[in-house]
A and B are shown apart, each in its own frame.
Chain A
Amino acid sequence: MTAAASAWWILFFPLAAFLLIPLIPEKKRTLGGWLACAGMFCAFALTVKIAWPIFEGQPFHSFHASIEWILIPNLQLEFGVLIDSLSVLMLLVVTGVGSAIFYYSLEYMAQDEGYRRYFAGLSLFAFSMIGIVISANLLQLFIFWELVGLSSYLLIGHWYQKNEAADAGKKAFLTNRVGDFGFLIGILLLWTFSGAEAARSLNFLNLNVTIPAFAQASASHGIWITLAMLLVFSGVLGKSAQFPLHVWLPDAMEGPTPVSALIHAATMVAAGVYLLARTFPLFSLSPAALEIVAYLGGFTAIFAATQAIVQNDIKRILAYSTLSQLGYMVMAIGLGSAAIGMYHLTTHAFFKALLFLGAGSVIHATHEQDIWNMGGLAKKMPVTSVTFFIASFALVGFWPASGFFSKDEILSLAFLENKFLFWVAAFTVFLTALYMSRLIVVAFLGTSKIRKKLHEPTQKMLLPLAALAVLSLIGGFLGIQNILSPASHSSHETPVFVVALATAFGILGVLAAWFFYRSSRKIQNRFQTAFAPIREILVRKYYMDDLYDLLLRYIQQPFAQFLSWFERKVIVEGLVNHTAAFAAFSGFCLRKLQTGRIQTYLSVFFFGVVILVYCFTIANLHP
């Protein structure tokens, strides 16, 4: 099998699983789960095969293959695969972490009513996500981009009978649509810039040549490039849940926990970061656009981290943490290094998926999501707890866990490029340590508030936990950062100051949480009343949800009602019915002309004669 063929097969294995699962009868439902797993494992195996040269330390030869899809004069759209080191890295993350989560789901969803629907949705997601990664052109990427939105909608709304889940799915899809509105216009702009009318193409390899040429053609083109790239970035805002389109991600936690792990932590939300990395050659043409990207990323990082501190739902804490970490990645790319952003994406995929799977394991055993109702889990579920601790360790960024290395790269990049963002990012480390330690102290340590006996799950759930724990721990030593930028890595040394500061902030956060949440209830209460206004703002999520609600309720809905009213009253009753009434009225008048009564006709005739006689005789006598 050629490399291009294996790339196609990576895409088609999950698709085949998606198509076959609905055909399986309900009685043999476990077969559906295994089918989905098989599709994912095969995709992973093929990815490893393609990536083998990288593991052997050889340089990777990228390749590109495509077939015609739409062929109209002046518009040629292709369907293709573009496999370079960037897509290989992302494929490894998607299929690798995906395999672990698929396998985990076998047990987690075993009792669920919609078991086959779940695995069909998961396979559809895998298909679309792999599609994003291997896309060779921007429109193809947009197609799969929309399809992951669909699968995310279906999986968030998996328990569609729950109102919250049904609403959350809708919200996620529509928020993404708003971002994609800009994205599509950005694509159209780039298409216009990509050359003469007949030679336009949206292929990445082509854009990387034509758009710089366009930018150099005239000084005034810079503003257009900036506009186009910011529009593309609006798609990233939606998919990677950056401020101000972040509101859907916390609500998306209504979906099953493995879905949150795979889609809303490790892969789909990272697709925006992948898009930034993929179009980085274009973004780098516009320093203004990159700067906005960096500031929005940095802002989202600290903005989300503050909200994570006051959440009580274990999954929502992790969701805000995801927002914050995505902010780091976006910021890294905005600061000028796609490789570092992708590095953090990879390690984040390991430890955040692990955190969610650990939370899933807890939820599976306790049927409880509020951390204040848990407590003392460490003793009852030791394996889950240990993996959870490792992941938290990596998330905060302590040596030697994987997060330490990727976060340090980001921090030292910020230190060199933009001091303000560096301090924002460093302070976010403190917040991260704070909210994760709070979660661990409250839920895993202390005395248990759960009466019933708890069990660790079976190997189907523990094995993925263990595998991801190993990756989270040693991910920094695997040379992931060398896949994308073998040369540039050694170009700048990590300043010792940065490492020391980040670690200090981390330890400070842990200590703060430790002393505060282990202290007596009285101190906690006093503290909380002292900071009640701030707490209120954080609990209400900076009123962002309320703001959007207001917009929808007081602007969109009245506008729709007004148009509906306009339609009923003005167009139908006013114009149409009055036209009809006018027709009826003229008919009423004209009807008098034909009454059928001989007297009427005679009198009209008589008057007519009188008028005619007058005209011809009397009027003519006196001209």
Chain B
Amino acid sequence: MITHSIVPWFVFIPLLTAGLILLIPNNRSRLIYRVSVAANALTLFLAVVVFLNFDSHQSGWQFVVHRPWVSALGISYHVGLDGIGVVMVLLHGLLSFCGACVSRSIDRNIKLYFTLYSILVASIFGVFTSLDIFFLYLFYEMAVIPLYPLIGIWGSQNREYAAMKLTLYISLGAVLALVGLLSIYLASGLQTFDLVVLSEQAKTGLFSRQFQLWCAPLLIFGFGVIASLWPFHSWSPIGYAAAPTAVSMLHAGVLKKLGIFLIIRLVLTLLPEGARFWMPLVAVLCIVNILYGAWAAMAQNDMKFVIGFASVSHMGYAFLGIAALNQIALTGTVFFMFAHGIMAALCFALIGYIYDQTHTRIIPELGGLAKQIPFIAVCFVMAAFASSGLPGFANFVSEILIFFGAWETYPLLTVLAIFGIVVTATYMLRMVRHVFYGAPNPHWEKLKDAKALMIKLPYGLLVAVLLVFGFWPSFLLNAIRPTTEALLETHHSIFLTQAKHDSALSVGTRQLSHLAHYLYHGSRKENA
């Protein structure tokens, strides 16, 4: 069976490509480009094969490869995929291929660029496939390393500041998460980093409630940083604006999803009571994400900043889906990660195309571009509508699922979240209006539209994926559904036995009211 040991190759192929590229002389730039595109096409092919071979009737791990490594510490090489992982691998395969395709405009140090790019791709695949916390964290940190030079060297304005800020932020989050992960390792007392073993044991109440309550926020906020949870989001618009196109694509498309993915995989599985306690707070913060990001996007003039804030805003929906802690919303979140990843990457790819041609991303300087570059304009209009959650695109399905799910848990917050899509449509259509519509600017008469098939391919592919899954969401949903069902079953069994549940919000407000009470009465006493 060829698919049996397929999963390790998702990491090996990009790493081998990185090595191969190092062997090619720097002046053979076309060759380097082609090798990179071909390698990413291969991983995309494997991702599709895995997706098609994934048995969507069972909820457990599939394509598992398990080799003991440092048995003294309980570290083993253990990879495999569940319904969530397989969707994320497909997303990452698609985006890394499209990112490699649009990297043709890189004009200096190509060899180093593609080497770092391949390492980045490999480490993200590593996070999605690892079933061992040690490797999971290793790959997570490994993904941050190439980002710094990729932004710092090939970025645009303000790149050093942005690269520094982004790296520091994500590392800071990673340190928080590391503390959480190590305490899980120690608290379990099982001497193992193996996620499968830990999650099996967690179902039987391995971790005490007290432990879960203080460990969960370390992971939620630690990984929340990379998913740009408000107020830890400010690296994101600046970072995207500075990053080269392909890095923006991967970053907004997949890297951000790592945070959500890891919260689902670690917090929801290992620390269900901690999740239950902290999620109402996350739900409030994510509404701030949605509305704050959307309105901030409306005030931006740089196209990349608009999309940067838009992605901050959109990650709020993903958090809302997790926070609802029910199957409809969680399934929606996984679907949303996929749809939003494709859409955000498409937006950045298209902005990159426009920037390569015009050397500006400032909205008032553009205008009437639909005449010169109709293909790009059509793709962008579609991306804008996908972003605003128009039916027909995958984004709509995911948002509807999140709304239906979150409505059960937080009806009022859901109303605010739904208002977010009105605001989203406003800033996206404003951008379409001022960049593509209006009187043609004579300054941009000489722009060239994407004509050759290979140039059109990445944009067309991403649009097509959005449409296909928008019309037939069951392709993805069937794979996701059993996993989310199994994941939340443990939650149900725990909460059925526990009638009273506090949350961070209720405890916080109670403490505040105690404080107010104390201050008020205390001061009254003194007066008396």
Chain A residues packing against B (C-beta within 8 Å): 68-75, 139, 142-144, 146-147, 150, 153, 157, 160-163, 166-167, 170, 173-174, 177-178, 181, 184-185, 188, 191-192, 556-557, 559-561, 563-564, 567, 571-572, 575-576, 580
Contacts and interface: CB of A to CB of B under 8 A. Distances in A.
B296 A576 contact: no
A307 B160 CA distance: 58
Given A147-B391, A174-B425, A75 B401 contact: yes
A147 B234 CA distance: 35
Contacts of B432: 170
Given A150-B390, A174-B426, A185-B418, A72 B296 contact: no
B405 to A, nearest CB: 8
B414 A188 contact: yes
B437 A70 contact: no
A170 B429 contact: yes
A74 B328 contact: yes
B368 A73 contact: no
Given A188-B404, A563-B295, A177 B425 contact: yes
Given A72-B401, A72-B477, A192-B407, A563 B296 contact: yes
19 contacts: A72-B331, A144-B391, A146-B391, A147-B392, A160-B370, A170-B429, A170-B432, A173-B429, A178-B422, A181-B418, A181-B422, A184-B403, A188-B407, A192-B407, A559-B295, A560-B295, A560-B298, A567-B296, A572-B238
**Interface core residue of B300, B371, B418 (most chain A CB under 10 Å):** B418
A161 B438 contact: yes
B418 A69 contact: no
Given A564-B299, A564-B300, A571 B437 contact: no
**Interface core residue of A71, A147, A166 (most chain B CB under 10 Å):** A166
Contacts of A162: 439
A170 B427 CA distance: 10
A68 B474 CA distance: 9
Contact of B385 (A74, A150, A160, A563): A150
Nearest to A139: B400
Contacts of A73: 327, 481, 485
Nearest to A113: B371
A554 to B, nearest CB: 14
A418 B295 CA distance: 45
List the 3 closest pairs (A to B, CB-CB), nearest first.
Answer: A166-B437, A564-B299, A143-B391
Nearest to B330: A72
B518 interface: no
A560 B331 contact: no
Contacts of B436: 160
A167 B418 contact: no
Q: Is the interface of A mostly helix, strand, loop or mixed?
A: helix
Contact of A71 (B391, B421, B425, B477): B477
Nearest to A180: B422
A163 B231 CA distance: 38
Interface in B434-474: 436-440, 473-474
Interface string B313-352: 0000000000000111001000000000000000000000
B438 A188 contact: no
B438 A163 contact: yes
A567 B477 CA distance: 37
Interface residues of B, number: 54
Interface string B215-252: 00000000000000001001000100000000000000
A571 B234 contact: yes
A185 B411 CA distance: 10
A160 B165 CA distance: 40
**Interface core residue of A184, A560, A567, A571 (most chain B CB under 10 Å):** A567
Contacts of A72: 327-328, 331, 401, 477, 481
Contact of A560 (B165, B231, B299, B481): B299
Contacts of A560: 295-296, 298-299
A139 B473 CA distance: 15
Nearest to B238: A572
Interface string B170-191: 0000000000000000000000
B392 A69 contact: no
Given A70-B401, A184-B403, A184-B418, 12 more contacts: A69-B474, A74-B328, A75-B401, A146-B391, A146-B396, A160-B370, A160-B438, A166-B433, A174-B426, A557-B298, A560-B296, A572-B234
Contacts of B295: 556, 559-560, 563
A12 to B, nearest CB: 13
B404 A75 contact: yes
B45 interface: no
**Interface core residue of A167, A560, A571 (most chain B CB under 10 Å):** A560
Contacts of B214: none
A382 B370 CA distance: 41
Contacts of A150: 385, 390
A170 B414 CA distance: 25
Contacts of A178: 422
Nearest to B172: A579
Nearest to B392: A147
B198 interface: no
A433 to B, nearest CB: 39
Given A72-B481, A73-B327, A163-B438, A185 B415 contact: yes
A173 B485 CA distance: 37
A72 B408 CA distance: 15
Nearest to B332: A72
Contacts of B429: 153, 170, 173-174
Contact of B422 (A139, A177, A567, A575): A177
B117 to A, nearest CB: 28
Nearest to A159: B437
Contacts of B426: 174, 177
Contact of A576 (B165, B298, B370, B425): B165
B234 A157 contact: no
Interface string B298-319: 1110000000000000000000
Contacts of A142: 391
A188 B298 CA distance: 28
B144 interface: no
A364 B368 CA distance: 26
Nearest to A561: B299
A143 B392 CA distance: 8
B66 interface: no
A143 B200 CA distance: 41
A146 B395 CA distance: 14
B397 interface: yes
A348 to B, nearest CB: 28
A563 B439 contact: no
Contacts of B300: 564
B292 interface: yes
B428 to A, nearest CB: 10
Contacts of B397: 70
A193 to B, nearest CB: 12
Contacts of A161: 368, 371, 437-440
A151 to B, nearest CB: 11
B299 A166 contact: no
B351 to A, nearest CB: 19
B419 interface: yes
A188 B392 contact: no
B172 to A, nearest CB: 9
B422 A70 contact: no
Interface in B342-367: none
B328 A188 contact: no
Contact of B477 (A70, A177, A572): A70
Contacts of B400: 139
B209 to A, nearest CB: 27
A339 to B, nearest CB: 30
A572 B233 CA distance: 10
A535 B426 CA distance: 33
A246 B401 CA distance: 31
**Interface core residue of B328, B401, B404, B421 (most chain A CB under 10 Å):** B404
Contacts of B477: 70-72
